[in-house]
Amino acid sequence: MAGPLENVRVLDMTWALAGPFCAMLLADLGAEVIKVENPEGGDTSRKNFPFVKEVSSYFLSVNRGKKSVTVNLQHPRGKEMVLSLAKKSDVLVENFRPGVMDRLGLGYAAVREVNPKIIYAACSGFGRTSPYAHRPAYDVIVQGMGGTLSITGEEGGPPVRVGFSIGDIGGGLFCGPVNTVPQVASDPHTLAREMITQVKHTQAGMLRVVNSPIKLSRTPVKLERASPVLGEHTEEVFMNLLGLSEEDLANLREEKAI
């Protein structure tokens, strides 16, 4: 059964955690999510520990179900490729600091020129109207400026960061026992809600991952793919969606545009 966002195409220009998590939720709901990554290493979170079968579990946890293409955003032809993809997409999600996409020639004004109907979702730590708009905002900064660090830890001791990125993903709090991760995975509630599932990874094979918490009766969420290998879908997307030939792709690679 198809998900509620079937036939919706999302151009994912995000990296790290908050943006990828947002785009992953759309993939969970059935959207086709095309993640654009730097050819030189891709999303920086691909290098984050811990690793499972040489795959970053951090990256895996917020990028399942997506397609990955590599594009050099600094290259003029790379910019053309992204605008061509944006023209055929319904949504663009990005989480660079405000102004970065404009400098790349890929801001809302530029994208709107090729696709007036696109939903352009820009996710940043402080928004676009704050005096702090151009500051970077990792989770620990959000926890610190939001006061969370000041009320976490022991009385008289130093501020303590919450153990997971609550500032980035906005997790819920609940009352109950303090479980270890294995205890959480085997808890009757976790099992009843089918919150652990298996997905196939191109490199690592079958992996157990956290399932989507979104439960819909008529359009159930079904996870079928793990996170993509860097550039795994470059040929598929550019040839099928943009009509490029193998020769075109070879030329773009030679120019280091993709």
Active site residues: 168
Strand intervals (E) in 58-204: 67-70, 91-94, 119-122, 196-201
Helix (H, G, I), strand (E, B), or coil: what is residue 47?
helix
Report the candidate in 233, 245, 248 with the shortest Cα–Cα distance to residue 35.
233
Q: What angle do CA 99, 102, 103 make, to 5 degrees?
A: 85
Expressed in angstroms, the distance from the first to the final Cα of the chain is 35
Report the candidate in 184, 221, 237 with the shortest Cα–Cα distance to residue 30.
221
Tokens standing for 226?
């793990």
Element (H, E) at 10: strand 9-13
Phi/psi-derived region of residue 65, left when phi > 0, alpha when psi is between -120 and 50, beta in every other case:
left
How far apart, in whole angstroms, are the C-alpha atoms of residue 71 and residue 79? 8
How far apart, in whole angstroms, are the C-alpha atoms of residue 88 and residue 135? 32
In sequence order, the β-bridge partners of residue 52 are: 55
